[in-house]
Amino acid sequence: MVECLYAPQRVLHEVTTQADVHDDVLYVNGLPKGAPLPRWVKPELLPAIQVPTLLIHGRDDRVVSFETSLYLLANIPDSRLVLLNRCGHWAMIEHADEFNRLVADFIANN
């Protein structure tokens, strides 16, 4: 079995096992079972967000599927999504330079 640098199987197993024991998530209709939102997120309030919002998500995230970010993108009015290829759950670590550039550019222009 080949381990990917961005999502090692042992880390995946630990994270998904831990995620299974938490009951503090809300599964949103239309998202796969693996795409929860924390219970404190009230989907009906997302359209009321009045500030520019940057969403950065790893395409290969096995903890939270990128469909969750697509849901947020569709429901937050002034939002932008950057989906990073060959990136798992830790975009800020796995693609640190690109992540930092995206955040700095977003802050500078908003």
Q: What is the pLDDT of residues 8-18, one digit of tens each?
A: 455 445 544 54
Q: Average pLDDT of 63-79?
A: 88
Of the pLDDT bands very low, low, confident and very high (cuts 50, 70, 90), residue 1 is very low
How many other β-carbons are positioned within 10 Å of the β-carbon of residue 11?
16
Q: For the chain, what's the residue count?
A: 110
Q: What is the distance between the terminal CA atoms of the chain, rounded to a whole angstrom?
A: 45
- Percent of the chain past pLDDT 90, that is, above it, reads 49
Residue 26 has a pLDDT of 54
Catalytic positions, please? 89
Q: How far apart, in whole angstroms, are the C-alpha atoms of residue 65 and residue 73?
A: 13
Give the helix/strand (H/E) hosting 43. none
Which CATH number is 9-109 given? Answer: 3.40.50.1820
82 compared with 70, residue with greater pLDDT: 82
In the predicted model, what is the mean pLDDT of the chain? 77
Q: Average pLDDT of 13-36?
A: 52
Q: How far apart, in whole angstroms, are the C-alpha atoms of residue 86 and residue 95?
A: 9
Of the pLDDT bands very low, low, confident and very high (cuts 50, 70, 90), residue 84 is very high
